Structure 1
Amino acid sequence: MLVEPLSRPGGQVVRFWSFNRMILELTAVVLLCACADGATVNEPASAQAEAVNIDASAMVRQQAAIAIGEQRTLWVSPSLKSKSRSTVQPSWRSSNPAIASIVPQANGGQYAVVTGLANGAVYVIARTPAAVDSFLVIVGTGPAALRFAASTFALTRGDTARIIPLDTGSTLSYSSLSSSVATVTTSGLITALASGEAKIRVSSELGASGEISVTVSATVVPPPPVGGNRIVAALTRISVGSGSALVSSGVPLVAGALRDTDVSAVRVFVGGVEQRIFVAALQGRHPDGSLTSILLQFPYALASGIPVAAEIVLGSSRTLGDLPPQVNNPGMPDAVILPTDPNYLVQTDLVGATRSVESTSAISSFASKYDADFRTFADLHWATYSDQWEQNYYDRAQVYYAQWVRTGNPEYWTRGTRQVLAYRKGYLEPNAYGTSPHWSQIDGVALHYQLTGDEMSRFAVGRVAEVLRYFRDNARIVGHPDIDSRILARTLAAQLWSWRLQARGNEAIATAAEISTFVSTVLGLQAADGAWRYPIICAPLSAGLTYMDGMLNESLIQAYIHHSPNPAILAKVRKSADYMWSRWKVASQAVEYAPGCPPNSTDPDSYPELNNLVVNSYAWIYAQTGDVVFRQRADSLFNGGVRGQFLYGQKQFNQQYTTSYRYFFWRSAR
């Protein structure tokens, strides 16, 4: 069985995860019965229960309604296949223990008793190392009405506004009761069409609902009397409370918008009134030398949960005196000013080339499902585990920041920031940044710096790059037993970010020349047939894992974009893509997992859930060359990956979304 180590602090390996996905064949038997306090319930005979097949491609839930103080028993019986391997002992968890508690019982945890504690609704989750089942439990009168950052909008015809829910943990649906006045998209974007009033109905799968009132006026409010380019933004208070708060955040910029000498030509208007601000250029530059982000700081009175519309104007000199740098917790500020239009945000290339969620649904039904699945499972993972640093394997922070860019929803910005801080403070800092390559999730940390100006995150980038130099400096040793494609990918990513952000740890910043040398070394390790092979894979054989090759290609592509457009990178990535496609499995719609390793009779040889770590190789080649064969292959990989996903697992969820959002841009680039 091929297994992958998950490292803990200090690089110590503590457990192994197999890619054997029993969830696809899990059968759940659910019995809901009233129980007296302390009563014992015997496991039902198979003839007394009806088996329900669980489809891993959807969130399958059983439902129960109980009163406050009432108890019910939830049973889960694994499939014959999982029984034949070992006794599955699920762990149980309530998504909100204040509403309903869950207590595992005897018989190896095969059933548990749920107790209603307060009005509301929860998910009860039963989890094994390879399977997850969930139950929707309605308690008492059910969930309270949904809450929103703003429940009323005054818009002019043609305006747009986004509904920002304050409650997470379930998927929301939106509908307009007066679509001739205002429409609403599946992600909560309102568009004002004609004068009048409209109601927007919002419902959750937990049974909660709420309404948004929209008033549309034909009157056009004049913009602030200034020139320059305008960025539509909003102030959002992160901390709980009201009154004056320091607004402090990084604002991403499109290429060419500002240069180092232009920071005096930035103005901020709130409610049409110019604010006295502090502005600073943050490290990081677009390929044309222009700024990638700026830090804005100023005080403003606002309350949590009520966003305030704002506008950032570039190219017009300020009329008010500048503020000095403000003292605040830069990692998680009290309040932020963030662009709200995803069509602007995707143009900044903050997270790499991508497209907005609104624009990708037309690509295919799989693109729509990709984003719908994200909303469902992102909320499930957040409700269950919040920002635990262990959830950041394969860079959950980057995943959330990318979704903020693609939607403009500040909730994802907040989640990404909390996830970075949990990872940095819970893992990197306690271990003196001595991360293993597997646990180097550097993109999210670098993005956190660019979005907050937190110098501790920039320092972390520099320190991690220094730690991983061991692998950079030993990569030239052909057959080195400690190095594989993923390690090279993580090492190259860290060196690139150290150079891009001029991030110094305790030693020197990675230089452009060092990156050029490292890229040449990596390219020289590719075999003549396009494979990347290492003794560490399937020892004593020399083999490779295709998903790791996809990760290495991704880092090489980033080096091509941000460091130097070396034509050898395109040639090597193309050769790698051709090699992987020669291992394409039609039946599973995935590439072979471990070409060169001996066949394994107990595990499949391909895993479509890993396709989206490979897909960008093909989409990017199409964007560079126009060869439609590579777009077709990219589409096949993406569709197979969405169809065969396993998003209940925290690692698998991150693998699905960590960089695959770039596929949308590259496959549509011509």
Structure 2
Amino acid sequence: MCFYQLPGTSLSSKSIMFLPALLTLSVLSGCETPATATHEVRSVVAGSVAETIIASDRTCEEARGRAFGPSVVGVQLTGVPSSVALGASFTPNAQALMSDGSSLDVGRFVRTSNTGVLGVAGSAFVALGGGVAEVRVACGSHRRSLQVTVTGGSDSGQLVANLKVVRFDGGSGPTAISNGIPLVQGAFQPAAIANLRMYVSGVEQPARIQALEGRFHDGSVRAVLVQFTTTVNGAQTASASLRLVGARPALAMPPLMETSLAPDAAALPSDATYLRSTNAAGKLPAYPLTNVPAVVATHDAEYAQLHEKDWGRCAAAWDCGRTSGYDRAQMVYELWFRTANPLYWRRASLMVKDYVTRYAGPNNGGLPPWWTQPRSVALNYQLTGESKARVLARQMAEVHAFQTRPMPNWGQGWAIADGDDRREARAMVAGLAATSVGADSPIVGLVTQFASYFSPSTMSQWIGLLPSSQKANGCFCAPVYSDGQKNFMVGMLLTSLIRYYEEVNADPRILPIVQRAADYMWENEWLLLDRGFKYVSNNRIENGAVAESSKAAPDLNAFTLPAYAWLYKQTRRQEYLDRYTIILSGLWRPMMATSGKHFDQGYADVASTYLWIQ
């Protein structure tokens, strides 16, 4: 025999015998366990009608009715209109009529026969689509239903993005979905997010949809976090969509779910054109490439093949086969944005998770320039909603701003050519990453040592100082290289300035800096016969031996490609496109298939260049 406790009351052994046959949810003892009762309730919430829960409740309810006091003799359903306009809502009133003349509110057992027509928003029902649905309530063997006609067509709203629900863990049954979806600039101001809805297989879902941190320059939202529960089995997928509806109540919002750097299931945009339009991973071309020189198309096509070999060797291990990092995960994310293949989203997210949990996180972003990878970390926040990634993006921005602070006595700072332009490049990239997730100012509650070194105006100040470290001929010449420079690091610096121009502010100070530097490198540092730039302008001697050579380093050619591609875009001067093609043709490739470091060097920051040369 089952005994149930009315919520908000207590039971003694004496009072049990006077209880009416109540439909409650808290099992005290008897024929069901709490887990069984909870399972029955969840099956109803997932979309079935009232009969689902009654199958188990009927037996216990009728047993109690025979053993104790008054029993249920009927049900009453009121507050249900015969017709309702699309988008309108109403709240039914359901009462169980007892044999002693009393009544009991059983509103929580009211269900709809068609969740595509009527949806549940708390205790209210919302008209979601045109058609007919029944509002039903059942208490034991007693049932009541009323028919509702929704007029005015379908309020499925305006399509924002087609999605595919994907499960990566191979499991089956209901699964929690929690991930970020990037948005197009200008599409949604924060107030409009309340009118976004999630649909799976054409049916609106109870979902939590909220703006993630980070805004475009016009104040619009960069990405939203979506959380809901649905059923996807194994390798199967489900069609879904994110839609904008008219102002109306949302369905009952699920509890806040945990986020993850690499969720086991996600609702991902399935259209590469949409993904590219968000520019979340930078401005990227369609896949495969068209209207580009053959050497460019071949280089791009080989990336996916080389990635498979790299994944086969290293899987998600962030440091596998690498003595310095050029943001491997960012490149894989870029391939997802260009193809919409969820496999790449999953792999890139696993790479970020490994990097954050094994290295960057434990060090609180206090990393050397050659191991900092802020772009993929910040992008991961936009694609998963995991706040750890956003916090780390802020920490890296602060640390690298501190590392490049003015120190004239040490010959260091943005106004001084110190020969390590990678340090400044990484500081700019970290600043851009933090800005993209709304962390260009200190995060509330995050206490760090270097917060004062990076603010919303910091990057602009750096650009103002940089010309002092560049000679009139364009060289970032430093004493450590006998009045020369390290060319691949200069390439990294120019790329970071270009990204600031493209993503934050089209600052007119940037073009002359980039153009002078690129012209200087081509005229003075390019070795025609070796088809590569010098590693350093002049040999660096240490203890009587050559520590860094002025020989060509064609394996590093790709670091200079963005400057020439972007200059072609800005000026449409053919010589910049010709130089771009020659540099790419000279890229040394033999070790790309076996060395993770060389593979990354050949593709870091290159994907956007394909768009600039079209």
TM-score using structure 1 length: 0.62
Match of 2:610 in 1: 664
* RMSD value, Cα: 2.6
AA matched with 1:403: L
SS at match of 2:162: strand
Corresponding residue to 1:495 among 420, 431, 446:
431
Deviation of residue 229 (structure 1)? 3.6
Higher normalized helix content (fraction of residues): 2
CA change 1:420–1:523 in 2 (3 A) is: farther
8 Å Cα contact 2:292/2:613 also seen in 1: no
Match of 2:315 in 1: 386
Corresponding residue to 2:206 among 276, 281, 286:
276
Match of 1:198 in 2: none
Task: Tell me the distance in 2 between the aligned counterparts of 1:571 and 1:602.
Answer: 29
Corresponding residue to 1:364 among 293, 307, 311:
293
8 Å Cα contact 1:486/1:549 also seen in 2: yes
Task: Tell me the distance in 2 between the aligned counterparts of 1:380 and 1:412.
Answer: 14
SS at match of 1:614: helix
Matched, 1:306 2:236: yes
SS at match of 2:362: helix
Counterparts of 1:72-471 in structure 2, within 5 Å, are 226-314=156-244, 316-317=246-247, 320-324=250-254, 326-358=256-288, 360-391=289-320, 393-471=325-403
Q: Which moved more, 1:460-469 or 1:491-500?
A: 491-500
CA change 1:603–1:534 in 2 (3 A) is: closer
Match of 1:533 in 2: 477
8 Å Cα contact 1:267/1:317 also seen in 2: no
Task: Tell me the distance in 2 between the aligned counterparts of 1:527 and 1:315.
Answer: 57
Deviation of residue 244 (structure 1)? 0.9
- Consecutive aligned runs of 4 or more in structure 1 exceeding 4 Å deviation: 315-319, 475-478, 598-604, 642-645
Residues 87-122 of structure 1, C-alpha deviations (whole Å, 9 max, x = no match):
xxxxxxxxxxxxxxxxxxxxxxxxxxxxxxxxxxxx
CA change 1:257–1:495 in 2 (3 A) is: same
Structure 1, gaps ≥5 residues long: 1-222
Match of 2:461 in 1: 517
Residues 389-433 of structure 1, C-alpha deviations (whole Å, 9 max, x = no match):
214721111011011111111111111111111111111123343
AA matched with 1:312: L
Deviation of residue 557 (structure 1)? 1.3
Task: Tell me the distance in 2 between the aligned counterparts of 1:418 and 1:311.
Answer: 25
Deviation of residue 663 (structure 1)? 0.7
Task: Tell me the distance in 1 between the aligned counterparts of 2:588 and 2:276.
Answer: 22
Task: Tell me the distance in 2 between the aligned counterparts of 1:649 and 1:273.
Answer: 48
AA matched with 1:488: E
Task: Tell me the distance in 2 between the aligned counterparts of 1:605 and 1:298.
Answer: 57
Match of 1:568 in 2: 509
Q: Which moved more, 1:233-242 or 1:451-460?
A: 233-242
Deviation of residue 602 (structure 1)? 11
Deviation of residue 598 (structure 1)? 6.2
SS at match of 2:582: helix
Task: Tell me the distance in 1 between the aligned counterparts of 2:158 and 2:285.
Answer: 25
Deviation of residue 564 (structure 1)? 2.5
Corresponding residue to 2:574 among 628, 652, 659:
628
Task: Tell me the distance in 1 between the aligned counterparts of 2:593 and 2:485.
Answer: 25
AA matched with 2:390: R
Q: Which moved more, 1:393-402 or 1:620-629?
A: 620-629
Task: Tell me the distance in 1 between the aligned counterparts of 2:418 and 2:362.
Answer: 24
Deviation of residue 490 (structure 1)? 0.5
8 Å Cα contact 2:167/2:232 also seen in 1: yes
Structure with the greater alpha carbon radius of gyration: 2
CA change 1:623–1:224 in 2 (3 A) is: farther
Match of 1:586 in 2: 528
Deviation of residue 604 (structure 1)? 7.9
Task: Tell me the distance in 2 between the aligned counterparts of 1:288 and 1:602.
Answer: 47
Task: Tell me the distance in 2 between the aligned counterparts of 1:395 and 1:318.
Answer: 43
8 Å Cα contact 1:250/1:452 also seen in 2: yes
Counterparts of 1:608-647 in structure 2, within 5 Å, are 608-641=554-587, 646-647=592-593
CA change 1:446–1:426 in 2 (3 A) is: same
Task: Tell me the distance in 1 between the aligned counterparts of 2:590 and 2:465.
Answer: 35
Deviation of residue 302 (structure 1)? 0.7
AA matched with 1:243: G
SS at match of 2:570: helix
Task: Tell me the distance in 1 between the aligned counterparts of 2:564 and 2:245.
Answer: 39
Deviation of residue 322 (structure 1)? 5.0
AA matched with 1:592: K
8 Å Cα contact 1:239/1:334 also seen in 2: yes
AA matched with 1:257: A
8 Å Cα contact 2:177/2:266 also seen in 1: yes
Corresponding residue to 1:559 among 474, 481, 500:
500
AA matched with 1:365: A
Q: Which moved more, 1:223-232 or 1:485-494?
A: 223-232
Matched, 1:596 2:538: yes
CA change 1:666–1:475 in 2 (3 A) is: farther
Alignment coverage as a number of residue pairs: 442
Task: Tell me the distance in 2 between the aligned counterparts of 1:243 and 1:280.
Answer: 26
Task: Tell me the distance in 1 between the aligned counterparts of 2:547 and 2:259.
Answer: 54
AA matched with 1:623: K
Deviation of residue 618 (structure 1)? 1.3
Residues 540-578 of structure 1, C-alpha deviations (whole Å, 9 max, x = no match):
x34321111111011111222333322111110111111
Task: Tell me the distance in 1 between the aligned counterparts of 2:585 and 2:182.
Answer: 31
Task: Tell me the distance in 1 between the aligned counterparts of 2:222 and 2:548.
Answer: 49
Residues 306-348 of structure 1, C-alpha deviations (whole Å, 9 max, x = no match):
1212122246556632515522242222311111221221111
CA change 1:648–1:323 in 2 (3 A) is: same
Task: Tell me the distance in 2 between the aligned counterparts of 1:304 and 1:639.
Answer: 44
8 Å Cα contact 1:246/1:328 also seen in 2: no
Residues 220-269 of structure 1, C-alpha deviations (whole Å, 9 max, x = no match):
xxx97634243121001122311111111111112111111110221222
CA change 1:413–1:301 in 2 (3 A) is: same
SS at match of 2:165: strand
SS at match of 1:357: coil
8 Å Cα contact 1:533/1:542 also seen in 2: yes
Task: Tell me the distance in 2 between the aligned counterparts of 1:436 and 1:558.
Answer: 21
Task: Tell me the distance in 1 between the aligned counterparts of 2:154 and 2:600.
Answer: 42
8 Å Cα contact 2:276/2:285 also seen in 1: yes
Task: Tell me the distance in 2 between the aligned counterparts of 1:246 and 1:521.
Answer: 49
SS at match of 1:474: coil
CA change 1:375–1:561 in 2 (3 A) is: closer
SS at match of 1:294: strand
AA matched with 1:614: T
